[in-house]
C-alpha cells in the first residue's frame, strides 16, 4: 500500500468499540516504533505519548466528562470511552526550553517545531492504526482537562497536552468525503 493509499484510508472514525483486530501489544509496539522514527528539528525528541488502555481508558473519559461539569454531553464522551484506548500526545516543554537556551538564535522556533513534530507523530500513528484496520479520531479537550488528566496519570508539570486520539475496533464507516477543488489550496509555479 502506498502512503497516499494509507492516508486516504485514514479517516475520523467516531463509532468505535473495544474489540481490536490485532493484539494490544502489537499496537503498543507500533506506537513505540513510530515515536522513535518520526523526525523533529534539531533531533529534539520533545514528543511524549501516554497510551490509556482498559480501566485507564474508561477512567480517562470519565475524568474528561467531570472536567467539563456536564457541558459536554455524556453521550459524546461515552462514544470516546467506548474505544479500546486513547493516545495522549504531549510536548515536554523542558526539552523545548533547553534547546531555546542552547540555540538562542532559533529560540522562537522551537515551540513551533515541537508542535510540527507532534503533528507528524499524530498523523503517523493515526495512519498506522488504520493500516491495522483500527479506527481513530483526534480530540482537543485540552486545556480544560489538563489538570484532571495529569492527576490521573501522574503527568509531570513540564508536559503540555496537545491532543487525545481515541482508537478501537470500527463499528461503522464514516460518510464519504467530498472532493475539494485542490487548486484553492495548492498553487504550482513554473
For 5, counting Cβ atoms within 10 Å of its Cβ (0-12 exposed, 13-18 middle, 19+ buried), the class is exposed
pLDDT for 1 beyond 90: no
pLDDT recorded at residue 125: 98
Nearest to 135 by CA among 179, 176, 89, 84: 84
| Half-sphere exposure (Cβ direction) of 16: Cα atoms closer than 13 Å | 31
Domain 15-171: top CATH class: alpha beta
Alpha-helical regions (H) of the chain: 3-9, 24-37, 54-67, 74-81, 93-102, 109-131, 146-153
pLDDT for 118 beyond 80: yes
Q: What is the pLDDT of residues 9-37, one digit of tens each?
A: 999 999 999 999 999 999 999 999 999 99
- Residues 116, 41 contacting (CB under 8 angstroms): yes
pTM of this structure: 0.96
- Residues 125, 165 contacting (CB under 8 angstroms): yes
Domain boundaries, the chain: 15-171
138 pLDDT tier (thresholds 50, 70, 90) = very high
Percent of the chain topping pLDDT 90: 97
Query: Cβ of 176: how many Cβ atoms within 10 Å?
Result: 7
181 pLDDT tier (thresholds 50, 70, 90) = very high
pLDDT for 5 beyond 80: yes
Amino acid at each position: 500500500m502506498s502512503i497516499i493509499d494509507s492516508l486516504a484510508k485514514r479517516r475520523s472514525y467516531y463509532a468505535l468499540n473495544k474489540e481490536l483486530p490485532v493484539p494490544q501489544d502489537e499496537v503498543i509496539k507500533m506506537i513505540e516504533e513510530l515515536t522513535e522514527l518520526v523526525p523533529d528539528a534539531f533531533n529534539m525528541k520533545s514528543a511524549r505519548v501516554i497510551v490509556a488502555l482498559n480501566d485507564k481508558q474508561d477512567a480517562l473519559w470519565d475524568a474528561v466528562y467531570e472536567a467539563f461539569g456536564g457541558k459536554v454531553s455524556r453521550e459524546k464522551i461515552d462514544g470516546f470511552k467506548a474505544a479500546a484506548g486513547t493516545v495522549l500526545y504531549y510536548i515536554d516543554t523542558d526539552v523545548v526550553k533547553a534547546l531555546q537556551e542552547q540555540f538562542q538564535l532559533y529560540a522562537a522556533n522551537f515551540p513551533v517545531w515541537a508542535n510540527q513534530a507532534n503533528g507528524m507523530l499524530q498523523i503517523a500513528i493515526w495512519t498506522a492504526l488504520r493500516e491495522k484496520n483500527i479506527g481513530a479520531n483526534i480530540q482537543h479537550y485540552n486545556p480544560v482537562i489538563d489538570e484532571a488528566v495529569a492527576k490521573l496519570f501522574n503527568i509531570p508539570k513540564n508536559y503540555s497536552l496537545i491532543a487525545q486520539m481515541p482508537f478501537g475496533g470500527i463499528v461503522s464507516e464514516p460518510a464519504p468525503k467530498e472532493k475539494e477543488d485542490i487548486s484553492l489550496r495548492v498553487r504550482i509555479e513554473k
